[in-house]
Amino acid sequence: MLKLFTSLAATAAIALISGSAFAQGYPERSITMVVPFAAGGPTDTVTRLVAESMSKDLGQQIIVENVGGAGGTLGASQVAKADPDGYTLLLHHIGMATSATLYRKLPYDTLNAFEYVGLVTDVPMTIVAKKDFEPTDLKGLVEYVKANADKITLANAGIGAASHLCGMLFMSEIKTPLTTVPYKGTGPAMTDLLGGQVDLMCDQTTNTTKQIKGGTIKAYGVTSAKRLDALPDVPTVAEAGLPGMQVGIWHGIYAPKGTPAEVTQKLSGSLQKALKDPDIIARFAELGTVPSTDAEATPAGLKSKLESEVTRWKPVIEAAGQYAD
């Protein structure tokens, strides 16, 4: 028994030593960062900005690879299966947490298939309506929506999209089901909102800020804790009486399970440096978001975020009863 224990310990020790020896030289070649969405989308944008800055710090190029499909689960499962050597990483958003419930058959175990590097950013959402929509503030909107529930249409960009999640949350917060109108992506949904074909939508600032500033749609609230610099006139949902609507599309970097802790620590440190890059701060501000703090951009920060978000969305999605598979 003792023999077994010592040999196990020895094996572990060797693994540890070789792990750290391995990590010291890391990275020795280029790193692949998988984005589980198509090139050019908002998540791809975030990834490329961060990857470029982290490449400078690590001294090795980070190649961004788009592995789109199935609401991000294809890319995630590919990384889950990759060698845990630190040369394959994943940048995924809130979908990492929601797909755990949205998909009843996932090819990986969301909470146990990955090591964590850190939280990157949290993009707030805005509750918006067509230009000539009657209510003037969020309180009025809630009353109006409750009174006219059977006439109001709520757009979203498809199952699992940020706008779909936020819409579900909105309906569950005001306890009023509405007629939801799904679109294929944010573009067409925004087109119909601009044209007044649908009434309401809740979407990321990435997609709505310009339209709100241009006065082509009406904004009722942002879902962040503080007002945004980009939209100083739009109140937060908490100010306007719906504190439960605080929600953001957060992005995190993951590595396959078994990646040495030294590697994820090194990557996390590099991420923290990247997030202080003035260029990144400026670009993020244009998207209506801010980089994560040093405490959030750590393995522990991302782990607790993912766990709490899986728990948070489970009842909301189950109540809506819509699944993606």
Partner 1 sequence: MDLLNNLVLGFATAASPYNLLFCFIGVILGTLIGVLPGIGATATIAMLLPITFQLEPVSSLIMLAGIYYGAQYGGSTTAILINMPGESSSAVTAIDGYQMARKGRAGAALSIAAIGSFFAGTVSTILVAVFAPPLTAVALRFGSPEYFSLMIVGLVSSVALAHGSVVKALGMVVLGLLLGLVGTDIYTGTPRFNLGILELSDGLNFVALAVGVFGIAEILRNLENEHDRDVMIKKVTNLWPTRQDWKEMTAPILRGTVIGSALGILPGGGAILASFASYTVEKRISNTPGEFGKGAVAGVAGPESANNAGAQTSFIPMLTLGIPANPVMALMIGAMIIQGIVPGPNVATEQPALFWGIIASMWIGNLMLILLNLPLIGLWVKLLTIPYYMLFPAIIAFCSIGVYSVNSNVFDLYAVAFFGLIGYGLAKLRCEPAPLLLGFVLGPLLEEHLRRAMIMSRGDPMTFLNRPISLGLLLLAAAVLVVVLLPSIRKKRDEVFVED
Partner 2 sequence: MGERFRPFFIASNGRGEHMRNLSFSSRDLICGALFIFIGLFFAIQAYGLELGTALRMGPGYFPFVLAGILILLGIIVIIQGTQLQHEPMGPIAWRGMLFILPAPILFGLTVRGLGFVPSLFLTGLVAAFASTKMRPGTALLLVGGLTLFSVIVFSYALGLPFRRFGPWLGQ
Amino acid, single-letter form, for residue 138: L
Q: Is residue 88 involved in binding partner 1 (CB under 8 A)?
A: no
Whichever of 1 and 282 has its CB closer to partner 1, that residue is 282
User: Which run of H or of E encompasses 221?
Assistant: strand 217-222
Q: Please identify, among the stretches 4-12, 203-211, 246-254, 300-308, the one whose residues bind partner 1 according to the rule CB under 8 A.
A: 203-211
Whichever of 11 and 179 has its CB closer to partner 2, that residue is 179
Helix (H, G, I), strand (E, B) or coil at 113: coil
**SS3 labels along 259-278:** CCHHHHHHHHHHHHHHCCCH
Q: Is residue 82 involved in binding partner 1 (CB under 8 A)?
A: no
Q: Is residue 65 involved in binding partner 2 (CB under 8 A)?
A: yes
Question: What is the rounded CA–CA span in Å between residue 100 and residue 80?
Answer: 14
Question: What is the rounded CA–CA span in Å between residue 55 and residue 259?
Answer: 19
Cβ contacts of residue 147 below 8 Å, gap of 6+?
none
Question: For partner 2, what does the binding mask look like between residues 20 and 39, x meaning CB under 8 A?
Answer: ------------x-------
Whichever of 48 and 210 has its CB closer to partner 2, that residue is 48
Measure Cα distances from 57 to 51, 52, 84, 92, 270 in Å.
10, 9, 21, 21, 6
Q: Is the peptide bond before 124 cis (omega within 30 degrees of 0)?
A: no
Angular region, 215: left φ>0, alpha ψ -120 to 50, beta rest? left
Q: Is residue 183 involved in binding partner 1 (CB under 8 A)?
A: yes
- Counting residues that bind partner 1 (by CB under 8 A) gives 59
Q: Is residue 187 involved in binding partner 1 (CB under 8 A)?
A: yes
Helix (H, G, I), strand (E, B) or coil at 304: helix
Q: Please identify, among the stretches 86-94, 202-210, 241-249, 298-306, the one whose residues bind partner 1 according to the rule CB under 8 A.
A: 202-210
Q: Closest distance between partner 1 and the C-beta of residue 4, in Å? A: 41
Cβ contacts of residue 56 below 8 Å, gap of 6+?
none
Q: Which two tokens stand for residue 33?
A: 């960062």
Q: Which two tokens stand for residue 250?
A: 């957060």
Amino acid, single-letter form, for residue 322: Q
Query: Which partner in partner 2, partner 1, none is near 83 (CB below 5 to 8 A by kind)?
Result: partner 2
Q: Closest distance between partner 2 and the C-beta of residue 210, in Å? A: 31
Q: Closest distance between partner 1 and the C-beta of residue 198, in Å? A: 7
Q: Please identify, among the stretches 10-18, 57-65, 285-293, 311-319, the one whose residues bind partner 2 according to the rule CB under 8 A.
A: 57-65
Q: Work out which of 27, 42, 221, 248 binds partner 1, going by CB under 8 A.
A: 42
Whichever of 204 and 264 has its CB closer to partner 1, that residue is 204
Q: Work out which of 6, 11, 30, 191 binds partner 1, going by CB under 8 A.
A: 191
Environment class of residue 272 by beta-carbon count within 10 Å: exposed (0-12), middle (13-18) or buried (19+)? buried
Q: Are 111 and 100 in contact (CB under 8 A)?
A: yes
Chain positions 206 to 235 lying near partner 1, rule: CB under 8 A, are 206, 209-211, 213-216
Q: Please identify, among the stretches 69-77, 115-123, 249-257, 297-305, the one whose residues bind partner 1 according to the rule CB under 8 A.
A: 69-77
Altogether, the residues listed in the chain come to a count of: 325
Binding interface with partner 1 (CB under 8 A): 38-42, 44-45, 48-49, 52, 64-71, 73-74, 77, 102, 107, 153, 158-160, 179, 181-185, 187-188, 190-192, 194-198, 206, 209-211, 213-216, 282-283, 286-287, 322-325
